[in-house]
Amino acid sequence: MLKKTAEVKQLEAQRTAIVQIATNELGVREKTGNNDGEKVEAYLKCVDLKKGQPWCAAYVSWVFAKAGFKAPRSGWSPSLFPSSRLARSALPGNVLGIYFPAYKRIAHVGLITGVDGEWIVSVEGNTNVTGSREGDGVYKKWRHIKTIYRMADWLRKEEGK
């Protein structure tokens, strides 16, 4: 049986922490449905955005900040997918990106918490029961793997560093 290295154990612990922090936010809702409320504004503050701004990327950044990571820190969803961070695997703690043709870009993000066959299980901010990119809270979502445009791994070390 192969023993796990300290680095592998640390990475697994970090993934578990990201998933736990994200999951603990399930049930957060906007105060008035206008990208507001105490928790939503804390997510926005993490990336220096003011009340009223879309907050899915801010939520992801807040989760990483809460886990002690310096990055990512952006309220702009496409910026969470630099080429150096792209991933091919739906690992817990990875960021998923949904492409919206109307915007011609990734316009919604979430955190992968698991995989169930061809379905990615995630926790996402600024969504709703139907999976909108302008929702009212933090929800657990099941998205078919074919609907995921990009995945990013902010936990593994960048190559060359």
- 73-130 pLDDT per residue, tens: 999 999 999 999 999 999 999 999 999 999 999 999 999 999 999 999 999 999 999 8
CA separation for the pair 16, 22 (Å, rounded): 10
- 125-150 pLDDT per residue, tens: 999 998 888 899 999 999 999 999 99
Fold type of domain 6-152:
endopeptidase fold (from Nostoc punctiforme) (3.90.1720)
**Which pLDDT value is given to residue 46?**
98
- 51-79 pLDDT per residue, tens: 999 999 999 999 999 999 999 999 999 99
pLDDT at 2 over 70: no
pLDDT at 38 over 90: yes
**Which pLDDT value is given to residue 25?**
98
Reported pTM: 0.94
CA separation for the pair 50, 64 (Å, rounded): 19
**Which pLDDT value is given to residue 104?**
98
CA separation for the pair 149, 56 (Å, rounded): 16
**Which pLDDT value is given to residue 1?**
53
Residue 106 has which token pair?
Answer: 């990734």
Give the pLDDT band (50/70/90) at residue 158: low
Asked whether the beta carbons of 93 and 10 are under 8 A apart, the reply is: no
Listed by start position, the domains of the chain span 6-152
CA separation for the pair 64, 59 (Å, rounded): 9
**Which pLDDT value is given to residue 157?**
78
